[in-house]
Amino acid sequence: MQREDIVRAAIGLMALLLPYIGAYTVIPLAAIFSLDPGTRLLSASLGLLLIMRPALSLVNTNLPLYIIAISFVASAIAPMAFRKFETLAGSLIYLLITVIIGFPLASLISAGGLSSERILFMAILGGLSGAFLHHASRERDFTVPFGTAMVMWLFSFDYPLPDLHRILLICIFALVLGIGAYWAKAADSDAVLSETTVCLLVILFGGLTWFMLLLAFYLLGGGFTRYGYARKAKLGIAQSHGGMRGYKNVYSNSLVPLILAICYGVYRNEIFIYAFIASVATANGDTLASEIGETSGSKPRMITTLKETEPGVDGGVTPLGEAASIAGALIIGILATVTGMTGPFGIVAGAIGGFLGTNFDSFLGATLQRRGLLSNNGVNLAATSFGALVGAVLWYILQII
């Protein structure tokens, strides 16, 4: 083991001091900061979290100590999993280390003040976000401690959670789906962590039926990305890396549905159901419109001018693509109705919201994306937001008719 590894392990073990000396743990961190230049950013980041806690208490804001403790583990001890293992295997071991060490440590610090379910959920969330940030970020010694702490802090408010065993089963279920996508070469390791996080949160706050809609989108999107792939590759418009999805694609299509699921879990307002359906329908309709429409024998036309353009050009639409978008949106609406998530009006919300959201995506592609003002992922995020807005408006109309 190298000297820097030993120092990092020592920093991580300082989390054991937190139940006894709390914020004063910053003193040994300061000593390491002065003695070891290689870990100064990590020491400073964790020290800043400790200083922030009493500072925030002055304005009646609580940054729980157990969150900082899990951040110590996630940023200093768990990263050692990547020394011998790469990508997905390293990430899974990283998650396991964070939960195995972080859970009892946080339980000790909370001293019975928190349920085991909440502590486990936080440890899993810290492990998933830490593994993702460790692999995706270049400034790991800052982004991992702060990123994991902020993600856990965001979900540290009071809300109902299922029992311990169900949380574990949901996490395992999410990981199995992600690993399956990785083995099928439909997602890279960062996308697996992202999809697992989305799955966990959507099921906890919305329910399994909510995630089934997202799962349908993931499966259909992955499948139709490879539809006519040879022809699309020949035209130079196929998805790179054989259609394998990255974390940017996951979050650009899933972030809005994720937020809506969380809002529903907190507020229990039906408007979030229809917004969620329309948002996922937009993502599904847009993916099918792109992947199937690009194989059309007819020339695409720009959505803004209706003039003919080349296949793969942002903002180009075809009759086949439009039909695919309607079909993709309808699938989500029908699935929402069949699973009992909503009544028959969910089909209308999915079809209209998805179709309008998909064409809004094309409009943004023809305008802002072509000018370099938005990336493809930015367009996807904006389109799913627009689709959600349409779904919310449709719900409002339903209330007054």
**DSSP states of 151-165 as a string?**
HHHHT-S------HH
Cα separation, 324 vs 295, in Å, equals 11
| 19 closest CA partner among 130, 145, 110 | 110
Residue with tokens 């693509």: 321
Q: What is the CA radius of gyration of the chain?
A: 23
**Residue 67 scores a pLDDT above 70:** yes
Per-residue pLDDT, 40: 95
Contact 335, 280 (CB under 8 A): no
Give the CA-trace dihedral at 217, 206, 136, 30, to 10 degrees: 180
The amino acid present at 77, given as its one-letter code, is: I
The pairs formed by 19-26 with CB atoms below 8 angstroms and a separation of 24 or more are 19/105, 19/108, 19/109, 19/111, 22/50, 22/65, 23/50, 23/51, 23/53, 23/54, 25/50, 26/50, 26/51
Residue 202's pLDDT band, with cuts at 50, 70 and 90, is very high
Per-residue pLDDT, 369: 94
**Residue 240 scores a pLDDT above 90:** no
Mean pLDDT, to the nearest integer, of 192-201? 95
Per-residue pLDDT, 310: 84
Per-residue pLDDT, 245: 81
Per-residue pLDDT, 155: 95
Per-residue pLDDT, 312: 78
Among 81-95, 101-115, 206-220, the least confident range: 81-95
Per-residue pLDDT, 4: 82
For residue range 210-227, what is the model confidence (pLDDT) as tens digits? 999 999 999 998 787 766
Mean pLDDT, to the nearest integer, of 313-326? 92
Q: What is the mean pLDDT of the chain?
A: 91
Q: Is the pTM here over 0.85, yes or no? A: yes
For residue range 121-141, what is the model confidence (pLDDT) as tens digits? 999 999 999 999 998 888 999
3-class DSSP state of 297: coil
**Residue 234 scores a pLDDT above 70:** no
**Residue 362 scores a pLDDT above 70:** yes
Tokens found for residue 315:
């903002």
Composition of the chain by helix, strand, coil, percent to 5: 80, 0, 20
**Residue 32 scores a pLDDT above 60:** yes
Mean pLDDT, to the nearest integer, of 302-327? 91
Cα separation, 361 vs 353, in Å, equals 12
**Residues with Cβ within 8 Å of residue 195, at least 6 apart in sequence:** 174, 177, 178, 181, 187, 218, 250, 254
Cα separation, 319 vs 301, in Å, equals 9
> Could you tell me what percent of the chain has a pLDDT over 70?
95
**Residue 230 scores a pLDDT above 90:** no
DSSP run (H or E) holding 317: strand 316-317
**Residues with Cβ within 8 Å of residue 169, at least 6 apart in sequence:** none
Per-residue pLDDT, 224: 79
Show the DSSP H helices in 14-139 as ranges: 18-21, 26-35, 40-57, 65-72, 87-110, 116-136
Mean pLDDT, to the nearest integer, of 369-385? 94
Burial 74-99 (b: 16+ CB within 10 A, else e): bbbbbbbbbeeeeebebbbbbbebbb
Mean pLDDT, to the nearest integer, of 359-384? 95
